[in-house]
Amino acid sequence: MTKLIALLGITLLAGVAAQAQGHWQFLGESHVDGMADHDRIVITAAKGEYRAIQIKVERGPIEFHHVVVHFGNGSSETLQIRQHIPAGGETRVIELPGNHRIIESVEFWYAKANWHEDRPMVRLWGRH
């Protein structure tokens, strides 16, 4: 009986810790073609409130300048990144201002490049 209570306590604490960190949800992706200097991901199926975002890059490197997060209440926030992200890399966790916020879309501003076969793909994740 004591072991069962201890196991339940550990399970409960692990669940509370995971909830405090929030869980990550895939919000969308964009294929970068190099013709423009920015792209936008519109959040559709993954609508909800988020505390932070993270950007992951696949297939090719991207030189990010900044991102603009557009919120459900009509406001927007420009977040400076100014970071070279290699293929397979990711940005730091970017905390959003305020508490939990509904994200309508995110614009990515980056340096144009001449990608040939392996054009980068940007994947956006949000943390509840």
In a domain, 91, yes or no: yes
Residue 31, domain CATH? 2.60.120.1380
In a domain, 79, yes or no: yes
**Across the chain, where does the E strand assignment appear?**
24-31, 38-42, 49-50, 52-58, 62-71, 76-85, 94-95, 101-110, 121-127
Q: Give Cα 21 to chain centroid, integer Å.
A: 15
In a domain, 122, yes or no: yes
- Structural domain span for residue 55: 23-127
Q: Is the dihedral of CA 85, 87, 91, 92 positive or negative?
A: negative
Number of separate domains in the chain: 1
In a domain, 10, yes or no: no
pLDDT tens, residue order, the chain (128 aa): 555 344 334 443 444 344 446 899 999 999 887 777 899 999 987 778 999 999 999 998 899 999 999 999 999 999 999 999 999 999 999 999 887 889 999 999 998 766 666 789 999 999 99
In a domain, 42, yes or no: yes
In a domain, 15, yes or no: no
In a domain, 112, yes or no: yes
